[in-house]
Copies of this chain bind each other. A is one copy, B any other.
């Protein structure tokens, strides 16, 4: 086991995970509560021979990482809600052009500049639907430093595997909480490297022609092949097309490459679910409070269990349905007005057994908050 033990913030655990995964280009613009990601990378990346660049705004940051990714780098940016809103147009470009990249959103309270220094989990649905048009997206989160590290490595692996942007949707508590991180040894977690084309220079390279296994090999832009990249619907050469079959085929491809791999992409943890009558579902920092509820009620003979989601999108519908099949109550614990709630309701067999335990005032939800809401849900009043 690794002896590289660190005591640091979640934002720094994310940085360490990204470095471990091979990040070598970061562009960003500082914003609370994500700033430590950029700050730490401004130190760490040069040490490793990578590039750190502070851009003039979040739109430029997305442009920079998209370009750098195309030239062959593993790239990341980090922001919070307002910056994430500004990134939506370029995010759609990365989806359409199939650019591997990782976007960290350390959530604050929204909408607008909102509640910058306080916790929220209000950007879950924006992560899914923030850019225009049908599309699919991968979004991951975590509740502690060890998992922040792990999902960050995963994010880079998934970005390369599926040629897709991946969103890391942390929250202020996770980002700023200091706790232990055991940094794995190199090689302990497998890494997915860029799949580069085997087509030689001087031979036609089709940037959007899939291999037999469905993956699209890339060629470092500006290197030996000339090819076209566009945000328009396009054919296998990357040239624009509004041919209905091309449009239909590309849109289905963009969505299916992710939705058809939902179970592979799904990362979650479970606690005491085997015989749970009441299943709590949570993610990010609120999952810590939910876990405390479960572990403190079990000795009392109350059959609580916890499903902690680490992949939020594509929503692991089948897994959630199965885990909740025997529950009498399902309670989604989150710090928003019920965003994962809707996905859970759509997933389970009986939506009327799904309830929400939440806070929306910027104050961290505690086990006591959850238990008080559980009292009400179970008809026991205040």
Interface segment among A39-47, A127-135, A211-219: the answer is A127-135
A359 at the interface (CB under 8 A from B): yes
A166 at the interface (CB under 8 A from B): no
Contacting residues, chain B, for A318 (C-beta < 8 A): 301-302
**Complex Cα spacing A337 to B129, Å:** 13
How extensive is the interface on chain A, given as a class? 35 or more
Q: Quick one: closest B residue to A81, CB to CB?
A: B132
A85 at the interface (CB under 8 A from B): yes
Query: Chain A 229-265 against B: per-residue CB contact (8 Å), 1 yes, 0 no?
Result: 0111100000000101101100110110000101100
Tell me whether A231 and B129 are in contact in the complex, defined as CB-CB below 8 angstroms, given that A336-B134, A360-B251 are known contacts. Answer: no
B115–A126 CB distance below 8 A: no
A130–B132 CB distance below 8 A: yes
Question: Which of A93, A112, A341 has the most B CB atoms < 10 Å from its CB?
Answer: A112
Please tell me which one of the listed residues B122, B244, B300 contacts residue A133 in the complex, with CB atoms under 8 A apart: B122
Contacting residues, chain B, for A86 (C-beta < 8 A): 59, 86, 88-89
B123–A133 CB distance below 8 A: yes
B111–A133 CB distance below 8 A: yes
Tell me whether A110 and B126 are in contact in the complex, defined as CB-CB below 8 angstroms, given that A360-B248, A360-B382, A361-B248 are known contacts. Answer: no
Would you give the shortest CB distance from A374 to chain B, in whole angstroms? Answer: 10
Tell me whether A244 and B382 are in contact in the complex, defined as CB-CB below 8 angstroms, given that A132-B85, A134-B336 are known contacts. Answer: no
**Complex Cα spacing A113 to B95, Å:** 11
A125 at the interface (CB under 8 A from B): yes
A63 at the interface (CB under 8 A from B): no
Question: Which of A114, A357, A359 has the most B CB atoms < 10 Å from its CB?
Answer: A114
Would you give the shortest CB distance from A165 to chain B, in whole angstroms? Answer: 11
A356 at the interface (CB under 8 A from B): yes
Q: Which A residues, 36 to 54, have Cβ-Cβ distances below 8 Å to chain B?
A: none
**Complex Cα spacing A97 to B114, Å:** 10
Residue numbers of A with Cβ under 8 A of B are 59, 81-82, 84-86, 88-89, 91-93, 95-97, 107, 109-118, 120, 122-123, 125-126, 128-135, 230-233, 242, 244-245, 247-248, 251-252, 254-255, 260, 262-263, 300-302, 318-319, 336-339, 341-342, 345-346, 351-352, 354-363, 373, 376-377, 379-382
Cross-chain pairs A/B with CB under 8 angstroms, 11 sampled: A82-B132, A95-B111, A95-B112, A123-B133, A126-B131, A129-B129, A245-B361, A247-B360, A338-B380, A373-B381, A376-B377
